[in-house]
Structure 1
């Protein structure tokens, strides 16, 4: 049975393992992941016993806007609606805000967000630059 927790306390091993399980570059930096989760506005995680199997992180100003920074589920646990549960919980937290943005890392995930009420911005374009301190 999957348990959902609102916490920011993770070990580097738990975070690094989850992020590496989905092939994310940030999984190479578990110490930074741990610090980032501690500094985040909202973090909701999914657990199978003591195994971290999913996570969503929101960044917000508390009044106007929020961004979903990451939503990931260990491939061994995908297909169990864990991502949907995590997203729905975070959106409930943000129900009073004017905007909630997400920039899916992969185009194949766009349909997932559309299914949950997001819309593609007609004039918007996602942009990103990776800082030099990550090399």
Structure 2
């Protein structure tokens, strides 16, 4: 398997929606315009490709010197357990450098995954939830 990672190759909204649905990532995939805006307004995106097939994505928002919020990490089901998620995280961390932390909010189904790839669980977060999407 020859996976190509890219900071420059941007997927279409349709490719993102298909990947998120395949990976089981709970995002508003029935709202193509919202998905597109999520990517348009993110300033650090790493993609993973198997030829022309989008197999993984890491989408972040960062100030490059203090904090990087890793908003989405998704890997296509058939490609899980191949190290793609870990590599997407590594490229994200490499790009923001040592001065910046990388933090995320995990979906419940991934709580066991993140400690395996170097994240430390924190008990100090708070949230004001968004309105539910339909």
Pick the TM interval, shorter chain. Answer: 0.7 to 0.9
Structure 2 unaligned regions, length at least 5: none
What is the match of residue 99 of structure 1? 101
Inter-partner Cα distance in structure 2 for 1:62 and 1:78: 28
What is the match of residue 62 of structure 1? 64
Count of residues paired in the alignment: 132
Normalising by structure 2, we get a TM-score of 0.85
Distance 1:128 1:21, change over 3 A: farther
What is the match of residue 130 of structure 2? 130
What is the match of residue 51 of structure 2? 49
Q: CA RMSD in A?
A: 1.9
How far the C-alpha of 1:127 sits from its partner, in A, is 2.8
Q: Contact conserved, 2:65 with 2:96, CA < 8 A, in 1?
A: no
Q: Contact conserved, 1:54 with 1:82, CA < 8 A, in 2?
A: yes
Inter-partner Cα distance in structure 2 for 1:97 and 1:80: 29
Structure 1 unaligned regions, length at least 5: none
More displaced 10-residue stretch of structure 1: 78-87 or 58-67: 58-67
Pick 1 or 2: higher relative contact order, CA cutoff 8 A, min separation 6: 2
